[in-house]
Amino acid sequence: MSSYEWLKDKNPHLNFYHVLDSQFRDFGRIVENYDVEELKIQMGKTDIPHEGNVYVASEPTLEQTSCKRQFQESFYGGMPIQIGYCNGSNSTLNGLEYHKGSEINIAITDFVLLLGRVQDIENNTYHVKDVSAFFVPEGTVLELYGTTLHFAPCRVTDTGFKAVVILPKGTNEPLDGKAEQYTAEDQLLFMKNKWLLAHPERKVLIDKGAYPGIKGENIEVFY
């Protein structure tokens, strides 16, 4: 039995798919023809925390590789980008975010992504029944569209997960003060180019100002 099949059996409560399945087309696509070996080598020097996750938006050792030029000049059409990483031991949903622009994830380990669609947000609320889980095998390079709700990956082993995260430069930096609100969507703006809905159970996010817009049980991925 493959890792994917084993995990699917462990999670009958989820709409569970492989990232190569056709169901992923609504959320993103597999990215090919980019050499990411330098990034994999540098990620080997990063650690996985014993609890929680660590997210670094812009990591110099990753941005000093030739990969940055490839993605910046080709994939992002010359727009400035940042390369960072997310490592952790998370196994729950906790929140869902989106950006105005695509995100690249590179799976340094196997992990699961919990994904949704911005189009299914109603009155700044989103129900967990609309979440789909996707198994992402080690080595996969994928694009998450700007209309895809996502958050940190979920681990599939006790060791945890590692992922490279590429985004338009400045994404996830602190906001410059409290911005004037023009639309209801502005309630979700949490950091620069980061709109976030938090699960009410995730008090650490709520206390930082995240909007408690997720309804239903906080999803957990079992392995």
Per-residue pLDDT of 28-69, as tens digits, reads 999 999 999 999 999 999 999 999 999 999 999 999 999 999
pLDDT above 90: residue 70: yes
Pairing assessment for the beta strands 126-127 and 214-215 based on DSSP bridges: parallel
User: What's the pLDDT at 177?
Assistant: 81
Residues in CB range of 88: below 8 A, 6 or more apart: 48, 49, 52, 53, 54, 152, 153, 155, 160, 161
The helix/strand/coil state of 41 is helix
pLDDT above 90: residue 180: no
Pairing assessment for the beta strands 161-168 and 103-107 based on DSSP bridges: antiparallel
Which pLDDT tens digit goes with each residue over 106-139? Answer: 999 999 999 999 999 999 999 999 999 999 999 9
pLDDT mean across residues, the chain: 97
pLDDT above 80: residue 223: yes
What percentage of the chain reaches a pLDDT higher than 70?
A: 100
Residue with tokens 């008090």: 203
User: What's the pLDDT at 22?
Assistant: 98
Which pLDDT tens digit goes with each residue over 147-179? Answer: 999 999 999 999 999 999 999 999 999 999 876
SS3 content of the chain, % helix, strand, coil (to 5): 20, 35, 45
Structure letter (DSSP) for residue 181? P
User: What's the pLDDT at 1?
Assistant: 85
pLDDT class for 78, splitting at 50, 70, 90? very high
Segment 76-84 shows an average pLDDT of 98
pTM of the model: 0.97
pLDDT class for 88, splitting at 50, 70, 90? very high
